[in-house]
Amino acid sequence: MEENQVIDTVDTGIVIFDREYSATYWNGWMAAHTQISENEILGRSLFDFFPKLKNPRFLRSCKAVFAFGNLAFFPQDPYGYLFSMKPVEWFRSEFKFMQQSCTIGPIRGEGKEIERLFVSIRDMTEEAAYKKKLVALTLNDELTGSYNRRFLMNFLEDELYRCRRYNRPFSVIMMDIDHFKKINDTCGHPFGDEVLKLFASTVVRNMRKSNRFARYGGEEFVCVLPETDSEGGVGFAEKIRKLIEELPLSYKQSQVKITSSFGVITYTDDINDIATLMKKVDDALYKAKESGRNRVVVAN
């Protein structure tokens, strides 16, 4: 039959399975990309070959399609993939598994009863890679490679919500390079840029993996420390303050010493929004500047 040839060679994966999740059809595309032949998988449970598929969301979706005859969607964003398989260009893909957009739908028998389901699988790896690149461009600061303000504000919103819901601590450090304008004026902007980069890399190298570091503006940076109490926040700020002070910088053979100031805030339940949080930590940083710079001040 002509249509069988098409279904077998079309650049879309087609899988059909019954109520026991046993495969009853496995097209050529699936065989080619999974290295599992039709003979091997027919009549056997999909979960024998793809154990991760047996997750609540997939099972719920299948039950719903059996019950309602609707379509269930697993778009690449947010789901990534349903059937784990290598990307076509595995040797240069940044994804370990092929990114897929999948749709599950009903197949009715003679009596209009839904007897089986199909899944169609489209390869979205290339599109996902482009999207990832574009997203990175909108979330990163070009000069320092750290996150930008847009990312920071979104991350803070999430973090604030998480802390309120699970009643967990988190701290935020706002930091600023002292007399940065003077550095720029005396040593020139290219040198100033190097200082910014060095400052950013010093923080990033020393922070925890779960922390997020962003350029807030000019020479101002913010570090978010999830699961960190006030003591931990101040400790980290102090560590960075000392490291910055000791940076071996020189301009035209003469040593340049830079220092930085820090405001630290730890979430308490009277902080209702990000604006309040940022205002408080900004005030603390201002106090650090006022009282002589090169120091850490805790917000009250």
Partner 1 sequence: MMIIPNSTEVPISEDEKDILQEVMNISFGQVAAELAEIIDVLVVLSVPNVTVVPGKDFQNYLSKKLKLSPPFNVIEQSFSGKLSGIAFLVFSSESGKNMVAILDEEGGEDGIQGIDQLEKETLMEIGNMLTGACVGKIAEQLDEVVYYTLPRVILNSSSSLIDLVDKDSVVILVKTEFQFADNDVSGFLFLITNQDSFQWLKEALHRYIEQF
Q: Take residue 220 and report the two structure tokens written for it.
A: 């101002």
Single out the residue of 6, 10, 42, 71 in contact with partner 1 (rule: CB under 8 A): 71
Question: Helix 125-139 crosses helix 149-166 at what angle (to 10 degrees)?
Answer: 100
Shorter beta-carbon distance to partner 1: residue 163 or 265: 163
Shorter beta-carbon distance to partner 1: residue 154 or 291: 154
Cis bond leading into 78, ω under 30°? yes
Question: Helix 180-187 crosses helix 189-206 at what angle (to 10 degrees)?
Answer: 130
Single out the residue of 73, 179, 186, 206 in contact with partner 1 (rule: CB under 8 A): 73
x/- string (CB under 8 A) for partner 1, residues 250-269? --------------------
Smallest separation, CB 81 to partner 1 (Å): 14
229 vs 177: CA distance, rounded Å: 24
CA angle 95, 8, 99 (to 5 degrees): 15
227: left (phi over 0), alpha (psi -120 to 50) or beta: left
Tell me if 91 contacts partner 1 by CB under 8 A.
no
Find the part of the chain contacting partner 1 (CB under 8 A) among 18-26, 61-69, 179-187, 284-292.
Answer: 61-69
Shorter beta-carbon distance to partner 1: residue 71 or 137: 71
Q: How many CA atoms lie within 13 A of 213 on its CB side?
A: 21
x/- string (CB under 8 A) for partner 1, residues 219-248? -------x----------------------
Residues that bind partner 1 (CB under 8 A): 56-57, 60-61, 63-65, 67-73, 75, 78-79, 154-155, 158, 161-162, 166, 210, 226
